[in-house]
Amino acid sequence: MSQKTNKKPHVLFLFSDTGGGHRSAAEAIIEAINLEYPDQITYEMVDFFKKYAPPPFDKAPETYPPMARIPDVWELGYAISDGRRRSRAIMNLLWPYVKGAALRLLEEHRCDLFLSVHPVINTPLLRTLGPYHPPYITVVTDMVSTHAFWYHRKSNLVVVPTESARDKAINYGIDPGRVIVAGLPVADRFATMNGNRAEIRARLGWPQDKPVVLLMGGGEGMGPVERTALSIADAHLDMTLVVVCGKNEGLKRRLEMVNWPMPTFIYGFVTEMPNFMQAADVLVTKAGPGTISEGFIAGLPIILFARMPGQEDGNVAYVVEEHAGVWAPRPQQVVDTLTTWITRPEERLKVAQTSRSLARPDASRKIARIIGSQLNMGGELKQSESLFSD
């Protein structure tokens, strides 16, 4: 778009609340846009499933949490739809049913740049747009095990979080010159974590003299959080346990009734996770890409106790192979790892250093500058930074 007019360029973010990572990624990029180009770019977020998809797809945000709690069903659906030929066949089958919704979305939301943080929308929207359209950027929010739906050859740029995801994009036919490794976008409050651990612990009421283990299951409180917490309690380890239950109010109520043998703090949905991570020594979590990326930035050794089959398998392999953490799907395995890391802190610190080395805290800012470059904004890249640099 020409910058000779007074009109501000407008960015359309395409997302859906089928899992927390899509919304949080879009919000992190928007925050970075405001920091990099204050009051220079306008934007809007559209949940395309909820606002435009025909039945039954319009119920996808509501059906995601219960489906995610049935791993076998999720794994089957992921496997059936993944792969170049299978994904293309599915999209061709659905095309007559969804093309009207895609056209209506485009008619009602004119923009100067599309930015997708969801895999499902790319094919129908790019097919509707035809050969001539504003820049279309896909920001992949899965870390390693990236589904075929993410990759469409008509995307102007595909921004990925890891080299593994870049290799996958190229294997699916994306021009290597249009694939950028930037990291996973996270909120600026994670990227700029610089608080004092002792001060944070004092404010939260956490002990200063014991290692703090942060146990969580994502925003929905998924995974074996309860069984893992109770197993840690039975081990009577010399530590402080912090459990974040997210939106799982039943889990929070049950854990609050337990007579814990060590200092234990139970929370529901929290808004100061950066402070929790800065004040912690170990992160125990499901293998969600956002939480893993935030853990890297905080320099936390990571114990992964659950994953979404197919979608998050690669995340587990990445953490383990890079020696940033361990895979411990059974509560006793979590306890065994914690026992080692508490009694041998030098081993824990070695893993923590590796975790921090994998961090990409500037991912959101870099993606914002990529957007600025596509919109011909001035000063979008640092002099030392190539658009396609790793």
Domain regions of the chain by residue span: 10-188+361-374, 193-357
DSSP H or E run through 10: strand 10-15
Model confidence over 344-363: pLDDT tens digits? 999 999 999 999 999 999 99
Q: What per-residue confidence (pLDDT) applies to 385?
A: 41
- Write the pLDDT tens digit of every residue in 114-161: 999 999 999 999 999 988 899 999 999 999 989 999 999 999 999 999
Q: What is the pLDDT of residues 274-327, one digit of tens each?
A: 999 999 999 999 999 999 999 999 999 999 999 988 889 999 999 999 999 999
Task: Give residue for tokens 């050794």.
Answer: 301
3-state secondary structure 255-322: HHCCCCCCCEEEECCCCCHHHHHHHCCEEEEECCHHHHHHHHHHCCCEEEEECCCCCCHHHHHHHHHC
- CATH number corresponding to 10-188+361-374: 3.40.50.2000
pLDDT for 183 equals 96
The pLDDT value recorded for residue 221 is 62
Pairwise CA distance, residues 119 & 160, whole Å? 12
Instruction: Note the pLDDT of residue 383.
Output: 34
Distance CA 23, CA 120 (A): 14
Confidence grade of residue 6 (pLDDT, cut at 50, 70, 90): low
CB 18 within 8 A of CB 78: no
pLDDT at 84: 85
Asked if domains 10-188+361-374 and 193-357 share a fold, the reply is yes
Look up the CATH superfamily of 193-357. Answer: Glycogen Phosphorylase B; (3.40.50.2000)
Residue 242: its H or E element: strand 240-244
Residue type, 243: V
Pairing of strands 10-15, 42-47: parallel
Angle at which helix 289-298 crosses helix 20-36, to 10 degrees, equals 50
Mean pLDDT over the full length of the chain: 90
Note the pLDDT of residue 72: 76
Q: What pLDDT score was predicted for residue 308? A: 86
Amino acid at 110: R
Are the C-beta atoms of 242 and 206 separated by less than 8 Å? Answer: yes
Q: Which of 19, 38, 34 is nearest to 117 (CA)?
A: 19
The counts of H helices and E strands in the chain are 17, 12
User: Over the stretch 191-249, which tens digit does the pLDDT of each residue have?
Assistant: 887 778 999 999 999 999 999 999 998 766 677 999 999 999 999 999 999 999 988 99
Whole-model pTM: value is 0.89
Is pLDDT of 65 > 80?
Answer: no
Q: Return d(Cα 34, Cα 46) in angstroms, integer.
A: 18
**Are residues 174 and 193 in contact, defined by beta-carbon separation less than 8 angstroms?**
no
Looking at residue 63, its pLDDT comes to 76
